[in-house]
Each structure stands twice: as structure tokens, then as C-alpha cells.
Amino acid sequence: MRKVEWDREKFRKMFPALYAEIGDRLIPTVIDHLEVCKNLEEAMEVIEYFEKKGEITREFASFLRNNPSLLNSLIRKRRRGEYESRGLL
């Protein structure tokens, strides 16, 4: 599966109701999800899921898996439910 990049204006014209619902908020990325993980094992599951769904490339998934120090710096950075306070869905 391939990740599709959308032009914001084109998306607004094609899906006006959805665009109005989302507004200027951002959709959480793999990094946002890694920040709420409790441990390295859970982080690996998140990476595998995002790779399987085509949300991240195989190369980026490999980069994350091969950098445990980076993952450890992301883990437990925020609690669940803090997405809205950061303007995320």
C-alpha cells in the first residue's frame, strides 16, 4: 500500500464536510503514537502496524526499529488523551 499525499485545497474541494469536521487539526503520526507507548515492545507493535497499513515506509520502520535509543526517548513522552490539547485529532 502506498501513502498518498493530498493538497489541502484539493482535499477541501473534494470533501468539504470532512474538511470542515477536521478543520486545521492534524492527524496523529506514528511518532505521536510512539510517544504514548509504555515500553519498547509496545512501540515495536505500533511500528509494525503503521508499516503494515502503509502509513510509513519499510525504510522508516527499519530506521525506528534499529534505533532503540531514539525509541526510548519517545516512549512515555505523553499520556493518552493529550492529542486534543496539541491540536491533533
pLDDT digits over 25-76, tens only? 667 789 888 998 999 999 999 999 999 999 899 999 999 999 999 999 989 8
Q: What is the pLDDT of residue 40?
A: 94
Instruction: Report if pTM > 0.75.
Output: no
Spatial CB neighbours of 48, under 8 Å, sequence gap ≥ 6: 61
- Give the residue with greater pLDDT, 22 vs 88: 22
pLDDT for the residue numbered 3 = 57
Q: Average pLDDT, stretch 6-19?
A: 79
Contact 63, 74 (CB under 8 A): no
What own/partner pairs with CB < 8 Å and gap ≥ 24 does 79-83 have? 79/36, 80/36, 82/36, 83/28, 83/32
Q: What are phi and psi of 38, to 5 degrees?
A: -90, -25
